Amino acid sequence: MALIKHPFDFDFSKLFPEIGQEIWHFPTLPRAMEAAKKFINLYPRTANGRIIRADMLLEAKGRFDRKWFAEKGGLWLSLSLYDEFFEEHASLISLIPGLAMVRCAKHLGITKAKVKWINDLHINGKKLGGVLIERYNEWYIIGLGINVNNPLPKGIPSESFGNLLKKEVSILELLEILVYWLRYYFGFLRWFEQKIRDEESVTNLVIEDFKQFTDTLGRCVGYGYNIDLDDYLIAQVTEITPYGSLILNSEEGLIEVSTGEILYLL
């Protein structure tokens, strides 16, 4: 793999080598996240950082059981992480997969890709990748899907790496890049939390990189817990907090949200 440049002098990926040390690959699975839970119970000793991926997912879904089309040609995986992190950093954990995906896009030449809070990868409003995170006992199960060479669903604004780059993209190369950036940002989070324990003040790289790679800040959005069902609140995104929450300015005043969904209106 070509050398990947990182913004700090230190390569934080070295601080979380467990991610991707064990990768299981299947032609098909119902859901990779359910497989991750099963494997935690079967093989707990090596579960931290384990990736389970499949060429095709038969029962893939997103938030609120929304249908996710995981056809052959995409990158579909789950990552199991032991919850070693500060409770107040839960939203930072949610931001990291989106940052890793946008880093992959930039690395391969998709320069206009952006992250929509909290972790959707898109380009010009068309979805390139998505993330679903569930808690399972003491674990985070992170489901991650990227449209690579797979056929795109009709009637849903979506795009793929292959279409944008006008070539077939190597799934294994993309996986290698993704693993690097997942190690990098989760490695940073380990380092960052140790600095907090040591009472040292350091820059929060997760937040700074999110500011760099998102197009959410300053947007007029609709906000709701489930944007498909709720009457959403119309607001402007004014900032992101050090903990990964959004500050929204609405007719009701300033509110802070750490969960839920946003819809770009302007």
Q: Domain check: are 147 and 227 in the same one?
A: no
Q: What is the pLDDT of residues 154-193, one digit of tens each?
A: 989 999 999 999 999 999 999 999 999 999 999 999 999 9
**Average pLDDT taken over every residue of the chain:** 94
Same domain, 176 and 245: no
Is the residue at 114 inside a domain?
A: yes
pLDDT at 226: 87
Q: Which domain holds residue 239?
A: 216-264
Instruction: Tell whether 148 and 229 lie within a shared domain.
Output: no
Flag whether 246 is in a domain. Answer: yes
109 domain-assigned: yes
Q: Specify whether 29 is located in the same domain as 135.
A: yes
* Pairwise CA distance, residues 237 & 212, whole Å: 15
Regarding whether 255 and 148 lie in a shared domain, the answer is no
What confidence category does residue 8 fall into, taking pLDDT thresholds of 50, 70 and 90?
low
Domain CATH for 108:
3.30.930.10
Residue 231 is assigned to a structural domain of this protein: yes
Residue 226 lies in a domain: yes
In this predicted model, what pLDDT tens digit does every residue of 102-132 receive, in sequence order? 999 999 999 999 999 999 999 999 999 999 9
- The number of domains in the chain is 2
Average pLDDT over residues 59-87: 89
> What is the structure's pLDDT at 67?
75
Question: Considering only CA atoms, which of 167, 186, 206 is closest in space to residue 51?
Answer: 186
Is residue 202 in a domain? Answer: no
**CATH number of the domain encompassing residue 238:** 2.30.30.100
Residue 89 CB neighbour total at 10 angstroms: 19
Residues 103 and 188 in one domain: yes
* CA neighbor of 98 nearest in space, from 173, 182, 22, 33: 182
Residue 190, judged by CB atoms within 10 A of its CB (0-12, 13-18, 19+), counts as: middle
27 lies in some domain: yes
Supply 108's token pair.
């391969």
1, part of any domain? no
Q: Are residues 29 and 153 in the same domain?
A: yes
pTM of the model: 0.94
